């Protein structure tokens, strides 16, 4: 758990506060939530809670809960007005009764877990009947990873070291962009299959753009291609899935 907390600390305090700062995946998550109106929501892996509050505003939630492994993240999230609990969702049960939430979000979380089955069971348990579950995760079968493998490189969302960024066609310069703690990286097909096994009904699937390095050559051309592939979830860098209990 210490190693998980160490990695989690990198993302505390950096989530966007303003709409202009949002990445493509953030905007698409808000688009999903803005089509609903919920009373009580839960954001698993909420970090500092900045984006959690944006989700809450989008769906007009009155009660906002969070789960976070980082002690610092929990502290900041609580200051943001979120009822936040510190625990390791890989091993621990959620501290809520059955059918407690109208919606649950878990963004860029499932790829960090050793036991996604336990996590999905807990999400299903705490959701109300017909409750909504939104998650996002890198896509192992993205066009980027297919080309990387063809050329003999490591897929981008998968690290080979817990300390070093090595083996990929190009490596992120920021520690915050590292994927050294990714444990299980999904194709869209495998993610959908796992969700169905855990009794979720899939309502919508969206592709999302990559975070391209700032110093990348021909970045403008890559951005155009990236936006095109984001329209094809099977090939997009990241996938977002909206499901229902």
pLDDT tens digits, 78-102: 999 999 999 999 999 999 999 999 9
- Total domains, the chain: 1
Output the pLDDT for position 217: 52
Q: Give the sheet arrangement for strand 201-208, strand by strand.
A: 83-86, 63-68, 40-44, 101-107, 127-138, 238-244, 201-208
Q: Per-residue pLDDT averaged across 124-144, rounded?
A: 97
Q: What is the mean pLDDT of residues 130-146?
A: 96
Q: Do the Cβ atoms of 112 and 91 come closer than 8 Å?
A: no
Chain centroid offset of residue 41 CA: 16
Q: Report yes or no on 151 lying in a domain.
A: no
Structure tokens, 240: 């977002």
Question: Residue 153: inside a domain, yes or no?
Answer: no
Q: 6-32 pLDDT, tens per residue?
A: 666 666 666 767 777 788 999 999 999
Contacts of residue 11, defined as CB under 8 A and 6 or more positions apart, other chains included, come to 47, 73, 176
In-domain check, residue 159:
no
The whole-number pLDDT of residue 163 equals 79
d(CA 142, CA 161): 22
Q: Provide the token pair at 63.
A: 């009660």
Q: Over range 120-136, report the average pLDDT.
A: 98
How would residue 107 be classed by pLDDT, with cut points 50, 70 and 90? Answer: very high
Quick check: is 162 in a domain?
no
The single residue listed with the structure tokens 């999400």 is 123
What's the whole-model pTM score?
0.91
Note the pLDDT of residue 7: 60
Q: Is 149 among the domain residues?
A: no
Q: How does pLDDT run across 142-197, given as a tens digit for each residue?
A: 999 999 999 999 998 888 887 778 888 876 655 455 567 889 999 999 999 999 99
Q: Taking a C-beta distance cutoff of 8 angstroms, is the pair 50, 82 a contact?
A: no
Look at residue 6 and tell me if it is in a domain. Answer: yes
Domain containing residue 59: 2-140+183-244
The domain that contains 113 carries what CATH number?
A: 3.40.50.150
How far apart CA 116 and CA 100 sit, in angstroms, is: 20
Strand partners, 66: 43, 84
Pick the residue with more confidence: 206 or 219?
206
Beta-bridged to residue 16, according to DSSP, are none
Specify the range with the lowest mean pLDDT, choosing from 15-19, 40-44, 83-87, 218-222: 218-222
Q: What is the pLDDT of residues 45-74, one digit of tens each?
A: 999 999 999 999 999 999 999 999 999 999
Q: Is residue 201 part of a domain?
A: yes
Number of Cβ atoms within 10 Å of the Cβ of 143: 18
CA distance 206 to 188: 10
What pLDDT, on a 0 to 100 scale, did the predictor assign at position 184?
93
pLDDT at 159: 82
The verdict on residue 167 lying in a domain is: no
């Amino acid at each position: 758990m210490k190693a998980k907390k160490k990695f989690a600390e990198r993302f505390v305090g950096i989530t966007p506060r303003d709409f202009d700062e949002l990445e493509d995946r953030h905007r698409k998550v808000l688009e999903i939530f803005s089509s609903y109106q919920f009373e009580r929501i839960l954001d698993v892996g909420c970090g500092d809670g900045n984006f959690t509050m944006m989700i809450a505003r989008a769906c007009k939630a009155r009660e906002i809960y969070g789960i976070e492994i980082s002690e610092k993240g929990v502290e900041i999230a609580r200051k943001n007005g979120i009822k936040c609990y510190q625990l390791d969702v890989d091993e621990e049960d959620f501290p809520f009764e059955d059918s407690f939430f109208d919606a649950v979000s878990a963004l860029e979380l499932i790829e960090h877990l050793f036991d996604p089955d336990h996590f999905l069971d807990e999400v299903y348990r705490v959701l109300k009947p017909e409750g909504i579950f939104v998650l996002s995760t890198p896509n192992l079968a993205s066009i980027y990873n297919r080309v990387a493998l063809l050329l003999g490189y490591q897929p981008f969302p998968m690290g080979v070291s817990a300390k070093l960024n090595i083996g990929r066609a190009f490596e992120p310069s920021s520690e915050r962009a590292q994927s050294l703690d990714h444990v299980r990286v999904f194709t869209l097909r495998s993610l959908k299959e796992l969700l169905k096994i855990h009794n979720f009904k899939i309502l919508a699937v969206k592709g999302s753009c990559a975070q391209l390095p700032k110093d990348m050559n021909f970045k403008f051309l890559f951005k155009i291609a990236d936006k095109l592939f984001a329209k094809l979830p099977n090939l997009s860098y990241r996938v977002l899935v909206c499901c229902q209990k």
